[in-house]
A = this chain, B = another copy of it.
Amino acid sequence: MTTIALSDWLLARINRDEATPLHRQLHEALLAAVLEGQLPAGRKLPSSRLLARELGVARNTVIDVYETLGAQGCLETRHGSGTFVADLSAERIAPPGPAPQPVAAPLAPRLSVRGEAVVKGARVFPRQWGAFMPGVPDVTEFPTRVWARLHNRHWNRAPPERLSYAPAGGLPALRVALAEHLRTARGVRCEPEQIVITTGIHQSIDLTARLLTDPGDTVWLEDPCYWGLRHSLQSLGLKLRPVPVDAEGLNWSGTRGAAPRFIVATPSHQYPLGMVMTLPRRQALLEQARAHGSWIVEDDYDSEFRYGTRPITSLQGLDRDGLVIYVGSLSKTLFPGLRMGYIVAPPSLAAAFAEGVAELYREGQLQQQAMLADFIAEGHFAAHIRRMRGLYSRRRQALLEAIHAEFGESLPVMGDNAGLHLVLSLPGLDDRAIAQAAVEAGVATRPLSSYYHGHGDGLSGLLLGYACVREEAIAPAFATLARVLRRFGA
């Protein structure tokens, strides 16, 4: 192909009136010429100056495109002699056409029954930030400079083992650091060998269920509870039995039927209502599990943040029989995007859990685990939690004051002594309609009733997350929400 032939071929494929930028069009046309063999390997391309003149485009446009194709390995620049088409024989393939249209008669059923349940019941918000998104910590306060320093430290000398798959259970240094932290901060009785690093609560529960249950087994969940667990457990063929909570926590006195294979509970701070399970109820729960041969999964998701109340040791710390599987997350204490959590398995299950996580998910991210081990061992983790506790405490106070200023005592508040959110009770009001209207007014909240297993039999209220809202923004955002609430008769 001569320069003239090439420029004609390219001109036929670019269109100045199209919305696609010219350099993008030229890039695609030249790429096609290379991939389709119009420009064979070794062919010298015209200079950017010459081709620009032939095409009537700016010379910089051609230079840009040559450089991009060079970075893609399609062109090679030989100093002093020009630009050549690279040998792509190991890569050349038929150029792709447009995406296929769905089949005329789509496969029926498109999704499976459990697949439909996941997608229809999807609760994940498109927005993950701002007033009053529950469960989201203030990630702008995360010490990114310290983190960047750890990045540099570990990426300057990355041993190959750290870039490969993780050993069973995770990086030993992180397991040591977490065990020490959990012993001190949460009264968890554990050795590093009991710690299993996961990507968070979803994987922790999935692993537990795959190792300890078979399809048809029963699992008890609190009612209400974190909605994210249900689809995962249902997908594994488990029967989920919702168990009510009262002021003392989980109350199974009215629950009949098969003994559960395991019981998921949030004793430190019931999710989402916020009560703390009392000591007598904890002892009864351990006794219940022992008598029925059930395991207990203790989800200790945000107990680091307590405001003005005496802390209470973990349920795991009271367990003398090795029945409690303790699970925690770094999403609330550090940042959710980190995707890191942990399980403290009872000694009798520790080896199986460590092997299971490696086998089922092939974990990695050892560089991040090494950074985190240093972050904990050097005291940054404890310092960050202390600082955030102070910050969240002030934001919580600001929200309580805003609620009081707008509504006095007429709307009771629950679960405000710990965590990242509180619950504003709305007895007799339609919390889902209110939450929908609030989102439209620019305030994200979640309706309490949607955390219940059944429909329409739960309490009505709104979960208000204050952790990710700056103190000065709380009153104005609540004023917006208050206007919505008044429209619904609050």
Give A residues with C-beta under 8 Å from B.
31, 35, 68, 70-73, 89-103, 106-108, 110-115, 118-119, 121-124, 126, 128-129, 136, 139-140, 142, 144, 147-148, 151-152, 155-156, 158, 160-168, 183-191, 194, 199-203, 210-215, 217, 228, 231-232, 235-237, 261, 290, 293, 295, 306-308, 310-313, 317, 319-323, 331, 335-339, 346-349, 352, 355-356, 358-367, 378-380, 382-383, 386, 389, 468
Contacts and interface: CB of A to CB of B under 8 A. Distances in A.
Given A215-B237, A235-B210, A359-B118, A129 B164 contact: yes
A112 B237 CA distance: 13
A139 B163 contact: yes
B189 A97 contact: yes
Contacts of A231: 359-360
- Determine how many copies of this chain the complex contains: 2
B210 A101 contact: no
A337 B164 contact: yes
Contacts of A211: 111-112, 114-115, 118-119
8 contacts: A71-B380, A73-B379, A96-B187, A100-B320, A103-B290, A164-B335, A200-B362, A338-B364
Nearest to A86: B386
Top 10 A-B pairs, shortest CB-CB distance: A71-B379, A337-B364, A115-B211, A139-B163, A102-B348, A163-B335, A128-B164, A148-B155, A93-B187, A339-B364
Nearest to A203: B361
B382 A72 contact: yes
A194 B101 CA distance: 12
Contacts of A102: 322, 346-348
Contacts of A352: 110-111, 115, 119
Nearest to A191: B99
A365 B121 CA distance: 24
A163 B148 CA distance: 14
Contacts of A136: 164
A158 B145 CA distance: 11
Nearest to A261: B112
B115 A144 contact: no
Given A115-B210, A203-B361, A360-B231, A72 B336 contact: no
A126 B360 CA distance: 15
Contacts of A215: 114, 215, 237
A122 B348 CA distance: 18
Contact of A213 (B112, B140, B166, B347): B112
Given A122-B358, A123-B359, A360-B202, A90 B389 contact: yes
Given A115-B352, A152-B152, A336-B362, 20 more contacts: A72-B184, A72-B379, A93-B313, A96-B183, A99-B190, A101-B322, A112-B217, A114-B214, A114-B215, A115-B210, A128-B161, A128-B165, A144-B155, A148-B155, A163-B338, A165-B336, A228-B362, A235-B236, A236-B237, A237-B237
A355 B122 contact: yes
A202 to B, nearest CB: 5
A479 to B, nearest CB: 23
A365 B95 CA distance: 32
Nearest to A319: B100
